[in-house]
Every structure is written in structure tokens, then in C-alpha cells.
């Protein structure tokens, strides 16, 4: 919602910037829009005049107020309650059972931050550096991976019992690499796939990837993102001139995609 508000405000010509919620405003983590002094009055009058203003100001105020109904916190940029560098810190990934194992949502939140970074990196050097710092904090925290089994975490620390969660984290790392060119993110993604994800296909009779180490039933919510991750690795390998590795990853992607085809309904939908 904050990113949507940012986009709407920029289209309306309003001078704003997405920043972390200052500690002096709230002890919780979150993101907010910093309004340039010249624009404070239009926002204020949009409220005072009961939205009887030109539509860009009404839209601006409405989006911000709407976002406040749903957003408590997004990215924790400072050390609050022991958490820093992760998304939605409160109880989110503290244990394997907290809020239904939401490791994968760290990846989707990171995808939103990468999208924002891509939009500003060419025009705002200060903001670019700030977001790159957020990327690094998230990486150092290993996406707040709660997994306690070191064998499942792997040498990168991004592996998890849940194969689908790990695949989404890998995709997020690729997105971070594409946006920044930081080789560390690519290396972590590739190594996590090679060590923690693809070897699991040998655990199932079908050769498809299982939902998790502790439940070897293959499903499409795992093999779908896995096909994306493997195809991405094939693309990188081909770009580097390593056709042999590219073909191996293509074969892996096709294997994962075959699972999706196998369970696909006649109308082309996936049911579970």
C-alpha cells in the first residue's frame, strides 16, 4: 500500500519520499511517506475541507488513510525488539509455528522493495544507497529464516524445511542480484538451489520436488516456483556461455513443470 501511495503521489506531482517510520513517531517498524513542506498544506486541507479539493489531493489523502487501515509495519530498518533488517518482525518468523510458517512472505515483501529500488535507483543516489543497505541487512539476517535444522538451512543459511518457501527466497535473491549486480545474492541463490532444493527430488518416487523434508508429497505450490528458479539459473548459465549447465537447469525446470501439468485440470487450473 505504501508503494501504491508513492506511485499515486508521484503521478499527481506531489513531492514525497518513502522512509522508515521515525522512532519518535512509533516504536513499531513500518514505512511512511515523507511530505515536502510545500505539500503539507494540500494534504491538511484535503482533510479539513472534507475532501472538497482537486482530485489529485483527494486521491493522495484517501490512499494514505486507506494504507493506515492495513499496514502496521513493513520493513524494520532499526533494531527494535531485537529485530532488524526483516519484514513484519513481530512474531512472524520467530519460530516454526509462529503465524503458519511465513518465511515465504519475506520473499514477496522483498520483491516489492526491489520493485521500488528499480524505480528510483537511476534518479536518487541517496535513496538508492539506503535501500541497498536494507538489502544487505535482510541478507545478513538470512531473510529471518527461523529454520533450526542446520542440514536443512545449508551452508548459505537460506534453506528451510519447506521447499516452496526456500524457492521463493531463491527467486527474491535473484531479483536482488538483477537489480544491484551484487554477486553475493546470485551466489547465495544458486548455492541454496544446488544444496537445499534440487537434491530433494531424489527423495520422491516421481522425481518431483516434495513440499518439505518432513512431508515428501510433491505439490504445485512447490514445483511451480521451483520451475521458475531453475529456468532462471538456466538463463544465467547460458548468458555466461555455460551451455552444459544451462541444459541441466532446463531439465530440472521441465521436471518441476511436469508436476504442474500432471495435476492440471481440463480447464487449465491447478487445484491444490
Q: Quick one: pLDDT at residue 16? A: 60
Burial class of residue 204 (count of CB atoms within 10 Å of its CB; 0-12, 13-18, 19+): middle
Question: What is the band of 30 on the pLDDT scale with cuts at 50, 70, 90?
Answer: low
Question: How far is 60 from 67, CA to CA, in rounded Å?
Answer: 11
Judged against a pLDDT cut of 90, whether residue 13 lies above it is answered with no
Question: How far is 198 from 110, CA to CA, in rounded Å?
Answer: 23
Going by C-alpha positions, the residue among 260, 258, 253, 225 that lies closest to residue 269 is 260
Q: Quick one: pLDDT at residue 219? A: 87
- Residues 198/200/206/210 CA torsion (nearest 10 deg): -110
Going by C-alpha positions, the residue among 267, 257, 265, 178 that lies closest to residue 218 is 257
pLDDT in tens, 183-229: 999 999 999 999 999 999 999 988 999 999 888 888 888 999 999 99
Q: What is the mean pLDDT of residues 238-254?
A: 97
Question: How far is 163 from 103, CA to CA, in rounded Å?
Answer: 11
Q: Quick one: pLDDT at residue 71? A: 45
Which residues does 40 contact at the CB level (< 8 Å), separation at least 6? none
Q: Quick one: pLDDT at residue 127? A: 92
Side-chain-side CA neighbours of 266 within 13 Å: the count stands at: 0
Mean pLDDT of the chain: 79
Judged against a pLDDT cut of 80, whether residue 29 lies above it is answered with no
pTM of the model: 0.71
Q: Quick one: pLDDT at residue 208? A: 94
Q: Distance of alpha carbon 181 from its chain centroid, rounded?
A: 17
Distances (CA, A) of 33 to 4, 10, 15, 50, 108: 11, 11, 10, 21, 21
Question: How far is 11 from 22, CA to CA, in rounded Å?
Answer: 25
Q: Quick one: pLDDT at residue 40? A: 46
pLDDT in tens, 83-140: 677 776 454 445 544 444 568 888 988 999 999 999 999 999 999 999 999 999 999 9
Among all chains, which residue has been given the C-alpha cell 489531493? 57
Amino acid at each position: 500500500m505504501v508503494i501504491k501511495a508513492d506511485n499515486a503521489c508521484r503521478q499527481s506531482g506531489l513531492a514525497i519520499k518513502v522512509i522508515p517510520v521515525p522512532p519518535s513517531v512509533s516504536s513499531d517498524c513500518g514505512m511512511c511517506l515523507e511530505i515536502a513542506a510545500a505539500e503539507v498544506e494540500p494534504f491538511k486541507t484535503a482533510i479539513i475541507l472534507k475532501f472538497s479539493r482537486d482530485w489529485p489531493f483527494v486521491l493522495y489523502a484517501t490512499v494514505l488513510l486507506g494504507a493506515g487501515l492495513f499496514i502496521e509495519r513493513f520493513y524494520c530498518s532499526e533494531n527494535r525488539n531485537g529485530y532488524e533488517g526483516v519484514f513484519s518482525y513481530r512474531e512472524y518468523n520467530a519460530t516454526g509455528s509462529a503465524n503458519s510458517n511465513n518465511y515465504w512472505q519475506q520473499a514477496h515483501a522483498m520483491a516489492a522493495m526491489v520493485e521500488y529500488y528499480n524505480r528510483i535507483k537511476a534518479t536518487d543516489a541517496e535513496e538508492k544507497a539506503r535501500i541497498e543497505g536494507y538489502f544487505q541487512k535482510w541478507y545478513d539476517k538470512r531473510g529471518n529464516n527461523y529454520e533450526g535444522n542446520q542440514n536443512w538451512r545449508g551452508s548459505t543459511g537460506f534453506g528451510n524445511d519447506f521447499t516452496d518457501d526456500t524457492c521463493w527466497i531463491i527467486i527474491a535473491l535473484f531479483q536482488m542480484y538483477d537489480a544491484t549486480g551484487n554477486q553475493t545474492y546470485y551466489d547465495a541463490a544458486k548455492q541454496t538451489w544446488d544444496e537445499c532444493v534440487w537434491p530433494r527430488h531424489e527423495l520422491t518416487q516421481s522425481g518431483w520436488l516434495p513440499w518439505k523434508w518432513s512431508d515428501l508429497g510433491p505439490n504445485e505450490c512447490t514445483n511451480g516456483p521451483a520451475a521458475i528458479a531453475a529456468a532462471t539459473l538456466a538463463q544465467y548459465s547460458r548468458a555466461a556461455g555455460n551451455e552444459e549447465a544451462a541444459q541441466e537447469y532446463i531439465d530440472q525446470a521441465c521436471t518441476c513443470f511436469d508436476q504442474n501439468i500432471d495435476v492440471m485440470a481440463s480447464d487449465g487450473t491447478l487445484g491444490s
